[in-house]
Amino acid sequence: GTPGMRHSLPNSRIMIHQPSGGARSPPWRGTAT
């Protein structure tokens, strides 16, 4: 459970800040949304 969640965190961040963030908003902004 712990290792799975930890691995999902960085994975989701890259996935979200790519389509969600893009060039409109920074990576840290997309993660907060």
Catalytic residue among 11, 17, 21, 29: 17
Tell me, yes or no, if 7 is annotated catalytic.
no
Distance in angstroms (rounded) separating the CA atoms of residues 11 and 4: 11
Whether 22 contacts 13, CB under 8 Å: no
Structural tokens at position 3 = 């290792």
Catalytic residue annotation: 17
